[in-house]
């Protein structure tokens, strides 16, 4: 390891990327963090060497060109779409080190058919399933089967929306039509997965792997439904907290041994070594822990509470992963205090919403003890922070207990106003039951 300070490019512009840039920016080894395209939060970190670059996270040729021109030492990829499109491969070919899986390894997230088959081969517990290439055979399968609760999934990326949870056969047949025939999620519906519906609590387990070794992070829990009490349509995630008492230390070790390690080894055997974040979406059922899905990146908003709690140098961790020397790294240090992140959203989200509303009270929120406001859908216009997306802010706080972290986060939320702003009021309550 040299002593030269590093230039890092973070690709993406959501709350996850703000949290990553904020944490990387605190490394003693950082020279500069560029965020493409970033948001008003990454543009306003005046005490950290962070700056935005006006390149979309989908524009791979421009990102590669920028990385070469600016002698980027490490590129960190936030979202799934550029990973699935092969951004890591393009950067590596151009001689840039990358934190984030290759296109082939990212298929674990980009194709649910690939993921389910891999889980089956690696003997990792998951819901019983069948895969289908056409609507007719999927429908025939449902008609022949006993009437039961099932889940129908589009194979490809659908922004978390391509999963339809059904209570009976009739609903499942309708879901097959929507995904496979009406192509509600476009090409993502070219193949289908139909699986048994599992019952239990969900948890997110994120691990960093360089393809050989694995470092598991503390358990987190997301809140996907839009409204309190897990009601309403699914969203990208309305809040998260970590750690969660739902996953005990023993369970975490067992998840490592029975889920994460076999997955990493199977990918390696398939010559698709995985470098980056392996994110297991799990259901804790009466029959044990089962994998619902894998993501090939940090979760958003799970990343925000995790970055609040991480005490080790994130840059060391990301660089060691890119260099395949994760096993040399000392154990990660975590703040023992829990962190809670409350997402503030635009009126109408996850449906249609308007943007361009001025956000007030950010300075007051920043003054709340142990709180940090991560931006997601925001931009600067004439020196003012305005809304530009559905999920706008991730208001995150540490506390002596989960209840205390929740209180601090909502204290900061109360300072912030814009026309139509709303949030769930029960983030982290599942931890208390
Ligand atoms: P996925 O994108 O596969 O994680 O699915 C999105 C959401 O759908 C999950 O967070 C679960 O709430 C739900 N889900 C997916 N698969 C199942 C299943 N087999 N049983 C019950 N719920 C599921
Ligand atoms: N929070 C869920 C996700 O990032 O996919």
Q: Which two tokens stand for residue 35?
A: 């965020």
Q: For atom 3 of ligand 2, which residue has the closest CA?
A: 299
Contact 96, 75 (CB under 8 A): yes
Determine if ligand 2 sits within 6 Å of the CB of residue 17.
no
Q: Residue 427 C-alpha to ligand 1 middle, in angstroms?
A: 19
Task: Please tell me whether residue 182 adopts helix, strand or coil conformation.
Answer: coil
Q: Residue 163 C-alpha to ligand 1 middle, in angstroms?
A: 7
Q: For atom 16 of ligand 1, which residue has the closest CA?
A: 292
Q: Which ligand is nearest to the CA of 303?
A: 2
Determine if ligand 2 sits within 6 Å of the CB of residue 281.
no
Determine if ligand 1 sits within 6 Å of the CB of residue 198.
yes
Distance CA 334, CA 178 (A): 44
Q: Residue 237 C-alpha to ligand 1 middle, in angstroms?
A: 13
DSSP 401-423: SHHHHHHHHHHHHTT-B-TT-B-
Distance CA 425, CA 238 (A): 10
CA–CA distance from 76 to each of 46, 64, 67, 228, 411 (Å)?
21, 12, 11, 34, 32
Q: Which ligand is nearest to the CA of 279?
A: 2
Q: Which long-range contacts (CB under 8 A, 24 or more apart) does 138-142 make?
A: 138/176, 138/180, 138/192, 138/194, 139/173, 139/176, 141/194, 142/169, 142/172, 142/173, 142/176, 142/194
Question: So what's the pLDDT on residue 257?
Answer: 98
Determine if ligand 1 sits within 6 Å of the CB of residue 17.
no
Q: Residue 68 C-alpha to ligand 2 middle, in angstroms?
A: 30
Question: So what's the pLDDT on residue 160?
Answer: 78
Question: So what's the pLDDT on residue 433?
Answer: 62
Q: Residue 221 C-alpha to ligand 1 middle, in angstroms?
A: 14
Q: Residue 400 C-alpha to ligand 2 middle, in angstroms?
A: 26
Task: Please tell me whether residue 339 adopts helix, strand or coil conformation.
Answer: strand
Q: Residue 260 C-alpha to ligand 2 middle, in angstroms?
A: 18
What are the φ and ψ backbone dihedral angles of 328, each rounded to 5 degrees?
Answer: -80, -15
Question: So what's the pLDDT on residue 430?
Answer: 92
Task: Please tell me whether residue 294 adopts helix, strand or coil conformation.
Answer: strand
Burial 311-323 (b: 16+ CB within 10 A, else e): ebbbbbbbbbbbe
Q: Residue 316 — left, alpha, or beta (φ > 0 → left; ψ -120 to 50 → alpha)?
A: alpha
**Unique residue bearing structure tokens 């041994």:** 257
CA–CA distance from 151 to each of 142, 196, 204 (Å)?
11, 6, 19
Q: Residue 237 C-alpha to ligand 2 middle, in angstroms?
A: 6
Contact 321, 130 (CB under 8 A): no
Give the number of the atom of ligand 2 that is nearest the alpha carbon of residue 295: 5
Q: For atom 5 of ligand 2, which residue has the closest CA?
A: 299
Determine if ligand 2 sits within 6 Å of the CB of residue 302.
yes
Chain mean position to CA 71: 28
Question: So what's the pLDDT on residue 207?
Answer: 98
User: Which of 283, 289, 297, 350 has most ligand 1 atoms within 8 Å of its beta carbon, as the pocket-test mutant?
Assistant: 283
User: Which of 295, 296, 306, 424 has most ligand 2 atoms within 8 Å of its beta carbon, as the pocket-test mutant?
Assistant: 295
CA–CA distance from 421 to each of 231, 347, 384, 424 (Å)?
18, 6, 17, 11
Determine if ligand 2 sits within 6 Å of the CB of residue 295.
yes
Determine if ligand 2 sits within 6 Å of the CB of residue 394.
no
Q: Which two tokens stand for residue 253?
A: 């070790």
Question: So what's the pLDDT on residue 148?
Answer: 94
Per-residue pLDDT of the chain (433 residues; tens, 9 = 90+): 556 899 999 999 999 999 999 999 999 999 999 999 999 999 999 999 999 999 999 999 999 999 999 999 999 999 999 999 999 999 999 999 999 999 999 999 999 999 999 999 999 999 999 999 999 999 999 999 999 999 999 999 998 789 999 999 999 999 999 999 999 999 999 999 999 999 999 999 999 999 999 999 999 999 999 999 999 998 999 999 999 999 999 999 999 999 999 999 999 999 999 999 999 999 999 999 999 999 999 999 999 999 999 999 999 999 999 999 999 999 999 999 999 999 999 999 999 999 999 999 999 999 999 999 999 999 999 999 999 999 999 999 999 999 999 999 999 999 999 999 999 999 999 998 6
The pairing of beta strand 391-398 with beta strand 371-375: antiparallel
Determine if ligand 1 sits within 6 Å of the CB of residue 161.
no
- The alpha carbons of the chain give a radius of gyration, in whole angstroms, of 21
Contact 60, 82 (CB under 8 A): yes
Determine if ligand 2 sits within 6 Å of the CB of residue 222.
yes
HEC readout, 190-258: HCEEEEECCCCEEEEEEEEECCCCEEECCCEEECCEEEHHHEEEECCCCEEEECCCCCCHHHHHHHHHH
Q: Residue 276 — left, alpha, or beta (φ > 0 → left; ψ -120 to 50 → alpha)?
A: left
Identify which of 246, 153, 255, 149 has the alpha carbon closest to the alpha carbon of residue 202: 246
Contact 203, 284 (CB under 8 A): yes
Distance CA 428, CA 403 (A): 8
Which residues make Cβ contacts (< 8 Å) with residue 30, sequence separation at least 6?
Answer: 5, 6, 8, 24, 49, 315
Question: So what's the pLDDT on residue 3?
Answer: 67
Identify which of 33, 52, 32, 40 has the alpha carbon closest to the alpha carbon of residue 15: 40
User: Which of 204, 221, 293 has most ligand 1 atoms within 8 Å of its beta carbon, as the pocket-test mutant?
Assistant: 293
């Amino acid at each position: 390891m040299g002593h030269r300070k590093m230039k890092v490019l973070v690709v993406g512009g959501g709350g996850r990327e703000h949290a990553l840039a904020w944490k990387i920016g605190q490394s003693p080894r950082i020279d500069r963090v560029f965020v493409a395209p970033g948001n008003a939060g990454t543009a306003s970190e005046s005490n950290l060497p962070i700056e935005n670059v006006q390149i979309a996270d989908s524009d791979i040729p421009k990102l590669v060109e920028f990385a070469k021109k600016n002698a980027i030492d490490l590129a960190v990829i936030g979202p799934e779409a550029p990973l699935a499109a092969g951004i890591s491969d393009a950067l590596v070919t151009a001689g840039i080190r990358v934190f984030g899986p290759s296109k082939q390894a990212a298929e674990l997230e980009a194709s649910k058919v690939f993921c389910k088959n891999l889980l089956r081969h690696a003997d990792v517990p998951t819901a019983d399933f069948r895969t289908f290439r056409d609507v007719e055979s999927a429908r025939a399968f449902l008609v022949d089967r006993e009437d039961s609760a099932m889940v129908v999934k589009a194979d490809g990326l659908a922004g978390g929306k391509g999963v339809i949870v059904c209570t009976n056969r009739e609903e499942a047949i309708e879901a097959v039509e929507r995904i496979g025939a009406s192509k509600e999620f476009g090409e993502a519906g070219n193949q289908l997965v139909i699986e048994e519906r599992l019952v239990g609590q969900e948890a997110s387990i994120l691990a960093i792997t360089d393809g050989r070794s694995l470092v598991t992070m503390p358990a987190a829990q997301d809140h996907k439904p839009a409204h309190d009490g897990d009601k309403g349509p699914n969203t990208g995630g309305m809040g998260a907290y970590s750690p969660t008492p739902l996953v005990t230390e023993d369970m975490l070790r067992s998840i490592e041994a029975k889920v994460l390690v076999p997955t990493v080894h199977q990918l390696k055997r398939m010559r698709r070594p995985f470098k980056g974040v392996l994110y297991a979406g799990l259901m804790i059922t009466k029959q044990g822990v089962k994998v619902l899905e894998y993501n090939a990146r940090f979760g958003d908003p799970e990343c925000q509470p995790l970055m609040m709690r991480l005490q080790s140098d994130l840059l060391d961790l990301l660089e060691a992963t890119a260099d395949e020397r994760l096993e040399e790294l000392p154990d990660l240090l975590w703040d023992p205090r829990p962190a809670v992140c409350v997402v503030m959203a635009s009126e109408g989200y996850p449906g249609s919403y308007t943007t361009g509303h001025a956000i007030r009270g950010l300075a007051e929120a920043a003054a709340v003890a142990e709180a940090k406001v991560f931006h997601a859908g925001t931009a600067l216009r004439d020196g003012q922070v305005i809304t530009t997306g559905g999920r706008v802010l991730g208001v995150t706080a540490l506390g002596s207990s989960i209840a205390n972290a929740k209180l601090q986060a909502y204290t900061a939320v109360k300072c912030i106003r814009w026309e139509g702003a709303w949030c769930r009021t029960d983030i982290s309550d599942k931890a208390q039951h």
